[in-house]
Amino acid sequence: MINRRLANAVFAGLILTTSALASLPAMAQVVYNRGQEADPETLDPQKISTSAEFHIMRDLYEGLIIHNGQGKVVPGVAESWTSSDDGKVYTFKLRANAKWSNGDAVKAGDFVFAWRRAAAPETGAKYTNVLYPVKGLEAVHKGTAGAKPEDIGIRAIDDRTLEVTLNNPTPYFIELLTLPVAGPLHPASVTQHGSNFVKPENKVSNGAFRLREFTPGAQASLVKNPSFHDAANVKIDQVNFIPLADSAAAARRFQAGEILSTVNIPANQIKSLRQQLGAQVSVTPQLGTWYLTFNNDKPPFNDARVRRALSMVLDREFIAEQVWNGSMLPGYSFVPPGTNNYGPQIELGFKAQSVIDREEVAKKLLAEAGFGAGKPLKVEYRFNMSPENQATFVAIADQWKSIGVETTPISTDGRTHFAFLRDRGAYDVARAGWIADYNDPQNFLFLLESSAIPGLNYARWSNAQYDDLMKRAAAEVDITKRAGILGQAETILLNEAPYTPVLFFTNRNLISPKLEGFTPNPRASNPTRYMSIKG
């Protein structure tokens, strides 16, 4: 009796729910639900640092120069520019129709205001050091006595003319201007609301979209900015950036059509997803290197023979194809292929040799360094915990075992891992990665300068010749000559192996056939303004 009554109640409940299922909200607007790997930590363009934040900033703001949908450098707010003969002074002409989302004109002074704020140490901007080529900016950012914000080499000649003075000719300077930290800010709203200028009700931006709403864990929702100078060509009315840290869950939502693109694919599902989704699965090279770093403060890892031996026996193809299921590419150079302002790619010399032959050479190198059957080399391998990094450790330990090296793992969370490397923690070997901020070999090679930002040179490696080459390259105006000098530096790096490249990063996207104009490119630049949605 009781059973039947309850069954009736359950049945009634079911009917209620199914009828609720039938009522779907009507959608009049073109909405793009865009999968992201994480929430933005902040929407302040000067305090961001993650790729999820970059994607949102490309839609919210327009810099002097921008990356288009193919990752190419094209004019943004600046319609044209000239540079002085010595390559140190740039003059930008701003487009007349550049507008903020509240209708105000974008003025040269807005860039001056923004750069001074980025340089001020109290702002806490994370990317300011990429602007160090600008005259006087480094001193202000470091809080050097006597350094004044007014001395920074950026000047508004009039509302539409901006002049920037550099310390040295910097071939990648134009591309630096695509970074959000180099973009403009709306001075009135920032001054009035302070750090709350990022809130939707206060936020004034000059990109193709403006902020509608941001709920961490749910979405950052942007709507078309009618004041944008190219608004006529923006075909998407609303873009929702949806954080999906679990890439498997993201793939399921993609398959259900709830999101039209993702920025990650679970490595262990790539093969099955390719079978199900075909060309919707996209894996393309990105400008980034996954590498191992050796601690040069700690013997025997200060011995180039040991480092070389450990580098040599890594079967990079196996790691890329078997461990990462082809979601990464085998890496034989530190500066990844496709980098601008560079000559022919410089690769590890042993690339052509078979792994079996390399093992013999590596064993000899280890024997020279004093290791062998009686005295095996013991290595502690540190990594930040992820299933892929764990599997990579297992593969590497196995490959090192073939030359008699005993490897033990230490894994921590990402923050702890990188803080440990930065703070001169006593490690043996550790994994790390670098993704380019700007498309230039210097953005990779500077990591190992002994004068690099303290803590950035994880290997604590110092090589006078290398430093000298980097200094010469910085002063060289001729791009070809500079490429040659940087090439020599990379040759030293690869031979000495303080870092050894293992893999190249990739863009891993699931892209719906309904979504047009999402073109994976090495800069992972996919502004929504270049996209449209079919039917």
Q: How is 434-503 classified by DSSP, letter by letter?
A: EE-SSSSTHHHHGGG-TTSSTTT-TT----HHHHHHHHHHHH---HHHHHHHHHHHHHHHHHH-SEEEEE
Q: Which is nearer to other proteins, 121 or 349 (CB)?
A: 121
Kindly state whether residue 155 participates in binding other proteins, applying the rule CB under 8 A: no
Interface stretch with other proteins, choices 122-130, 267-275, 348-356, 487-495 (CB under 8 A):
122-130
The span of 84-92, 183-191, 432-440, 508-516 binding other proteins (CB under 8 A) equals: 432-440
Cα–Cα distances (Å) from 195 to 46, 191, 203, 212, 344, in that order, read 11, 9, 11, 18, 46
Nearer to other proteins, 207 or 288 (CB): 288
The C-alpha angle 161, 229, 526, rounded to 5 degrees, equals: 100
Q: Which residues 216-235 are close enough to bind other proteins by CB under 8 A?
A: 216-218
- Check residue 152 for interaction with other proteins (CB under 8 A): no
**Crossing angle, helix 464-475 and helix 479-496, to 10 degrees?**
160
Cβ at position 169, least distance to other proteins in Å: 24
Is residue 180 a contact partner of residue 48, using CB atoms and an 8 Å limit?
yes
Is position 242 an interface residue for other proteins (rule: CB under 8 A)? yes
Q: Is residue 215 part of the contact set for other proteins (CB under 8 A)?
A: yes
Q: How far is the CB of 76 from other proteins (least distance, A)?
A: 24
Is position 165 an interface residue for other proteins (rule: CB under 8 A)? no
Comparing CB distances to other proteins, the nearer of 245 and 394 is 245
Residue 33: strand, helix, or coil: strand
Task: Decide: is 415 part of the binding site for other proteins (CB under 8 A).
Answer: yes
Specify the stretch interacting with other proteins by CB under 8 A; choose among 231-239, 288-296, 416-424, 496-504.
416-424
Examine residue 1 and tell whether it contacts other proteins (CB under 8 A). Answer: yes
Biggest alpha carbon distance in the chain?
Answer: 95
* Residue 214 near other proteins by CB under 8 A: yes
By CB under 8 A, which span of 108-116, 158-166, 255-263, 300-308 interacts with other proteins? 255-263
What is the rounded distance in angstroms from the CA atom of residue 35 to the CA atom of residue 113? 33
Beta strands in 250-405 (DSSP E): 261-262, 281-294, 329-330, 378-384
Q: Does 201 interact with other proteins (rule: CB under 8 A)?
A: no
Q: Which position among 142, 148, 271, 298 is part of the footprint of other proteins (CB under 8 A)?
A: 142
C-alpha dihedral sign at 300, 305, 307, 312: negative
Angle at which helices 479-496 and 304-312 cross, to 10° = 90
Pick one of 29, 85, 201, 423: the residue that binds other proteins (CB under 8 A). Answer: 423
- Residue corresponding to tokens 């990105």: 286
Shortest separation between residue 250's beta carbon and other proteins, angstroms: 9
The number of CA neighbours under 13 Å toward the Cβ of 309 is: 29
Among 12, 80, 86, 143, binds other proteins (CB under 8 A): 143
Nearer to other proteins, 83 or 255 (CB): 255
What is the distance, to the nearest Å, from the Cα of residue 371 to the centroid of all Cα atoms in its chain?
Answer: 39
- The contact pattern for other proteins, residues 5-34, with x = CB under 8 A and - = no contact, is -x---x------x--xx---x---------
Rounded Cα distance, 443 and 347, in Å: 17
- 453-512 residues near other proteins, rule: CB under 8 A: 453-456
Instruction: Extract the tokens encoding 521.
Output: 């490119």
- Please work out the total of residues on this chain that contact other proteins, with binding judged by CB under 8 A: 59
Instruction: Select the residue interacting with other proteins from 32, 34, 36, 39 (CB under 8 A).
Output: 39
Q: Is there binding between residue 125 and other proteins (CB under 8 A)?
A: yes
Q: Is residue 291 part of the contact set for other proteins (CB under 8 A)? A: no
Nearest C-alpha neighbor of 487 from the set 308, 341, 353, 294: 341
Taking the CB of residue 12, how many other CB atoms lie within 10 A of it?
10
Among 15, 28, 29, 122, binds other proteins (CB under 8 A): 122
Shortest spacing between CB 142 and other proteins, in angstroms: 5
DSSP H or E run through 377 = none
Element (H, E) at 312: helix 304-312
357: which 2 tokens? 């032959």
Specify whether the CB–CB gap between 153 and 166 falls below 8 A.
Answer: yes
Using CB under 8 A, which of 208, 244, 474, 494 touches other proteins?
244
Stretch that binds other proteins, among 150-158, 164-172, 250-258, 504-512 (CB under 8 A): 250-258
Interacting residue with other proteins among 93, 193, 212, 253 (CB under 8 A): 253
Q: Which residues bind other proteins (CB under 8 A)?
A: 1-3, 6, 10, 17, 20-21, 25, 39, 41-44, 47, 49, 121-126, 128-129, 141-143, 195, 198-199, 214-218, 242, 244, 248-249, 252-253, 255-256, 258, 415-416, 418-420, 422-423, 425, 432-434, 453-456
